[in-house]
Chain A
Amino acid sequence: MKLTPHSRFGAVALTGALALTLAACSSGSSAEPGATSGAGDAPAELSGSLAGAGASSQEKAVAGWIAGFNDTYPDVAVSYDAVGSGGGREQFLAGAVQFAGSDAALKDDELEAATERCEGGEALELPLYISPIAVVYNLPDVDTEHLQLSAATIAKIFNREITTWDDAAIAAENPDVTLPSTGIIPVNRSDESGTTENFTEYLEAASDGAWPHEASGDWPLSGGQSGQGTQGVIDTVSGAKGAIGYADASRAGDLGTVALKVGEEYVPFSAEAAAKVVDASPRAEGATDKRLVVELDRTTTEAGAYPLVLISYSIACSTYADAADADNVKAYLTYVASAAGQDRAADPGVAGSAPISDDLRTEVQAAIDSITAA
């Protein structure tokens, strides 16, 4: 009786099932379509089941990937249980699932457990889901495509220090815009979420101390407007003039979106700008050519990079005990990393994420190719 993405997931699963039957009809006559570019050889006949669990942030993208993957490999039953990042990593390390989705990288003690789980091999951590977060506002009378705001101004707005839209700080950044004297209504997520965590992380890192709270998946202030889930935030912001909130960029709809101050420029969100900040960011300490963990540089000055993004990793093993598991994971991740897979998730009807850049794809594919059976 809950309104969760499960119903949508069901619909996608149904579509997948339809696609599966269609693919089965056509497969006899011609070569398999969508042969994967990186693997080099023709897709082998794969079958069996492939289970994943983890972050709900990438749930819709995974649903799209499963459907796309099944177009090529209809006999592999892929499932993804959105139990949350921590739960996904736990299940993966316990060997209950073959891959996990996680908004955070594996912790040190988890890495040790991963070596054991991976038959002495290493864990793969691949940044395959990049989702730009938009700061959305409801000011229908303001005649500009994007309001321009720095992280410090946004921090003060959400910390309720700036309370009207014609405040000097906002006006200074938007000299050509006539701002109304409407009161500002900040809206946050009421449930714990990776979106909130990344947003507060950005404010903490980039606002020069204007954001006094610690980064957390749970909103630090109380007594304000909030919404349940992405749609709840969008509905709440849409519900009152002067409201401002943050949500997955793909769901912004008719609301205005803020161009963030990066260096001396203002950058509105776009898929390219989101992928760019990932490329411009350094790798985290301890990252290897298999564990492509990105230390997001929220304070980047790279031209045209949009620093307010959420990265969700796909976690897998470099070595599996079972050869079928190794082949299935390899084929699945290859599809996910491919241009086709990334574009599928980028479709606003699927997840509206930002496709990874070609450079990152090359690195990711090299890591995927290292997957073997023990």
Chain B
Amino acid sequence: MAVTTTPPPRGAAPRPSSDAGDTAGAAARAASTGRLAGRVFGALSTGAGVLILVTLAAVAVFLVLRAWPALTASREELEAISWFNGGSVAEYVGPLIFGTLLASLLALLLAVPVSIGIALFISHYAPRRLAQGLGYLIDLLAAIPSVVYGLWGALWLIGRLDPVFAWLSSNLGFIPLFADYQAPAKNIMSASVVLAVMILPIITAVSREVFLQTPRLHEEASLALGATRWEMVRQAVLPFGRSGVISASMLGLGRALGETMAVLMVISPGFLFSFFLLKPGQQQTIAANIASKFPEASGLSVSALIATGLALFVITFVVNFAARWVIARRAEFSGAN
């Protein structure tokens, strides 16, 4: 499920707005090249818009229906499932939500600064021909399936991270975050590094498009006042692109939250509310846990897993809502108008 962002031409809107259906329909009507064609196209695009809502509702209904037996099950019934920790779905899913958020936020922490750097390099520093090639390369990275990243992480990266983590743990081990590292590096930090690499392309691609749309006048005004290139970026490009970078990060976060294979193959799972980043067997993410437990699950245990899926569904919903809210609030200050 690769999110491909085909770069729109310079000056075009960075992302299709959510009410594309309405505007497309209106445009078709205005063109008046035939009332029937206009109406058909309008109906088709409205249908497409409705379809996505119906799909979303269907997924939500499915999750609630299938999770219901687990949500209403008694303590004894749930404890009969051999891998079930805690006495209720909420107790079981708590550490998983914690692990999912921790892994995703760490990944974001690692990926966003690098992404902004790459995006700025492509949009404002690199020679034009290099920038184009680099842009394509970044888009290509976004299309690599996550299982390949998982294999790369599990078979190659873990061995390379080992000396780094060993050094961190022996020198900064007095900070609980880095204490008690145990080889091989199958901990949440490694998983976050793999996730960071996975979400790098999408954040970079969207940020780059936003930076490229900085009004030429703003940039030139800044330069004319004697600003260096770095000062110009700071004064004109970054404030303009801020909301775009935030929405790019949220897209990346969405991908990190739902990522399964890469985490499954890299992490030694555990079910604790633990901030030990280098210790094995501390955290686990919802998606990886479902993939790990589902093949042998039956009956109530399937419902319990689907209930954790429902929790993930709600989290991604909340994250996306928060992102929209942040962007909407910031839009008026961004200088885009």
Contacts and interface: CB of A to CB of B under 8 A. Distances in A.
A121 interface: no
A227 to B, nearest CB: 7
A240 interface: yes
Given A2-B291, A87-B298, A224-B281, A243 B147 contact: no
B179 to A, nearest CB: 13
B293 A236 contact: no
Interface in B296-327: 296-298
A34 B179 CA distance: 62
Contact of A235 (B145, B155, B291): B155
A190 B271 CA distance: 11
A225 interface: yes
Given A86-B298, A226-B268, A239 B280 contact: no
A82 B270 CA distance: 26
Interface stretch (A142-150, A215-223, A256-264, A336-344): A215-223
B17 interface: no
Contacts of A236: 184, 186, 268
A226 B280 contact: yes
Contacts of A305: none
Q: Is the interface of B mostly helix, strand, loop or mixed?
A: loop
Which bracket fits the contact residues of B?
Answer: 35 or more
Contacts of B83: 192, 218
Nearest to B292: A191
A4 interface: yes
B82 A192 contact: yes
B268 A56 contact: no
Contacts of B185: 239
A235 B268 CA distance: 12
Contact of A84 (B270, B279, B296): B296
Contacts of A272: none
Interface residues of A, number: 33
Interface in A206-261: 216-218, 222-228, 232, 235-236, 239-241, 243
A200 B272 CA distance: 23
Contacts of A177: none
B189 interface: no
B264 interface: yes
A77 to B, nearest CB: 24
B296 A191 contact: yes
A1 interface: yes
B269 interface: yes
Contact of A239 (B184, B265, B279, B295): B184
A3 B149 CA distance: 13
B298 A218 contact: no
Nearest to A82: B295
Contacts of A1: 145-147, 260-261
B289 to A, nearest CB: 10
Given A87-B298, A223-B279, A225-B184, A235 B154 contact: yes
Contact of B268 (A3, A83, A227): A227
Interface string B251-268: 000000000110011001
A216 B162 CA distance: 32
B182 interface: yes
Nearest to B146: A1
Nearest to B155: A235
Given A2-B291, A228-B264, A223 B296 contact: no
A92 B277 CA distance: 46
Contacts of B159: 239
Instruction: Give 6 closest A-B pairs by Cβ, nearest first.
Output: A239-B184, A240-B183, A84-B296, A223-B281, A240-B184, A218-B82
Interface of A: 1-4, 56, 82-84, 86-87, 90, 185, 190-193, 216-218, 222-228, 232, 235-236, 239-241, 243
